[in-house]
Amino acid sequence: LTYLINGRGQYLTRNGTKLTTTPFAEFNVTQGNRYVLRVIAGTCTECQYVLTIENHDMVIIAADARSIKPYRVDSITMSPGERYSFVVNCNRTVNSYWIQVRTIGYCNATGAYQLAVLRYRGAGRTPTSPPPTYAVTASNRPGITMSPVNSACSSESRIRDGPCISDLRSAYTAPSVIRRTQGITRIYWAFGFYIFEDEELYNSPEYDVFLVSPATNNSVGSTINGIVNVPAPSPLLSQYEEVPREVLCPKNGYDPNTWNLVHRECVHVIEVPAYEVIEIVIVDTLDYYPAALSHSIHLHGFDSYILEMGLLEQGIPFNQSFPRLKQYLDSNNRPRIPLDVVTKDTYPLPAGGYIVTRIYSDNPGFWFFHCHFAYHLDTGMSGILQVGEVDTFPPPPPGFPRCGDFLPYP
């Protein structure tokens, strides 16, 4: 396992041994200028990574698709699908400097990392400092890390580890409706896994989707609210009436006390009203530990206002910590929503933690939401947010292509 930067890089072992001699990506700059760099986490596995530039800090100016108020950091942790824009002030001695991406958290054991070069004009092609390794990073000083892995997002963790995404501030003022305290529809997305017994998979006429966890060797289905989402036989938006009702999950879902204890596969649709404030509370059903897996969450069709992030109460099972989170959300102890609350469309869910987001549901239709890890997505960790009533959606245009299950026999 390794990374590529702009399609380039070498296969490096944890201690820095080169297994290939292919070229590194280079970024040419002029001393005294400032440059905007756009970094895109074009990955699709569970491996988060941290980005650093030798002897240079970064001023973040955009998160995903939206501008934010400048925030200076020394490194940025990224999950699959995230994007950041940042400014690098090239005011150092003319030289070439190492850029490093390095896996972190759940994937520490892989030792995967990659290098690139920030090259000042007039400098040699190769930095004069030794190449970083997995253990010896490109950052030669402790500093501020944006979005540290599985942070509690508490006052103490912010000082010790760095800011969470919810600490960023938008360059724009959020609509007043987003900040209201009443008239809100709240829904929950709980990310987890159902563990199969071998008998269920291999002595059954069903072909249930599953993956074999590399961490535990268990066969698991990936779930949201205890449901393995399966595709509808026809598109919901254009052929809704042709989708059999029996393939749809119950509208009210299932008892949270049974999530991940009973295997359920169905088309997972969650209905919300159009043109309302929808508060989406996203939780991880598994236990916290510092290097535990952190899902990358993505909702299509909307930017999400990131209100709060943190960890569930530790030392108790999910069926106790989840009700306590609900009690907190119903209380008057929540922080006020800032005028410039940040928006993102992709964000990491802390292991054993939660994220509170809001959207204004002004984009009616069926919108996909999912974990950005490819094999979690492929094995059911997704759902469809239905915004508004189906009979209010515009009909497909004449001659619009139709599709459905291929059935070779009548």
Which tens digits make up the pLDDT trace of 328-356? 999 988 999 999 999 999 999 999 999 99
Stretch 100-109: mean pLDDT: 92
Contact between residue 305 and residue 359 where contact means Cβ atoms under 8 Å apart: yes
Using pLDDT thresholds of 50, 70 and 90, give the confidence band for residue 128: very high
Nearest Cα residue to 68 out of 136, 183, 215, 166: 166
Cα(1)–Cα(49) distance, integer angstroms: 13
3-state class (DSSP) for residue 147: coil
For 92, the token pair is 């150092």
Percent of the chain with pLDDT over 90: 86
User: How far separated are the first and last CA of the chain, in Å rounded?
Assistant: 46
Q: Which of 39-53, 54-68, 181-195, 204-218 has the lowest mean pLDDT?
A: 204-218
Please tell me the predicted confidence (pLDDT) of residue 406. 77
Q: Are strands 58-63 and 66-73 parallel, antiparallel or unpaired?
A: antiparallel
11 burial (CB, 10 Å; 0-12 / 13-18 / 19+) is middle
Which pLDDT score, from 0 to 100, does residue 17 have? 86
Q: State whether the Cα torsion 140-141-145-149 is positive or negative.
A: positive
- How far CA 381 is from CA of 226, 318, 324, 352, 368, in Å, comes to 10, 18, 24, 16, 11
Q: What topology does CATH give the domain 25-146?
A: Immunoglobulin-like (2.60.40)
Helix runs in 169-306, H state only: 198-202, 236-239
What are the start-end ranges of the E strands in 240-344?
265-266, 269-272, 277-284, 296-299, 304-311, 343-344
pLDDT reading at 410 higher than 70: no
Q: What is the mean pLDDT of residues 190-217?
A: 91
pLDDT at 214 exceeding the cut of 60: yes
pLDDT higher than 70, residue 49: yes
What span, in angstroms and rounded, lies between the C-alpha atoms of 108 and 106?
Answer: 6
Domains 25-146 and 176-392 share a fold: yes
Average pLDDT value for residue range 18-22 = 89
pLDDT in tens, 280-315: 999 999 999 888 999 999 999 999 999 999 999 999
The full set of domain ranges for the chain reads: 25-146, 176-392
pLDDT of amino acid 409:
61
Contact status, residue 24 vs residue 115, Cβ threshold 8 Å: yes
- Helical spans, DSSP H, in 195-294: 198-202, 236-239
Specify the CATH architecture of the domain 176-392: Sandwich (2.60)
Strands (E) located in 196-303? 211-212, 219-224, 228-229, 265-266, 269-272, 277-284, 296-299
pTM of the model: 0.94
Mean pLDDT of 35-57: 95
Q: What's the pLDDT score for residue 388?
A: 98
Q: Return the pLDDT at 291.
A: 86
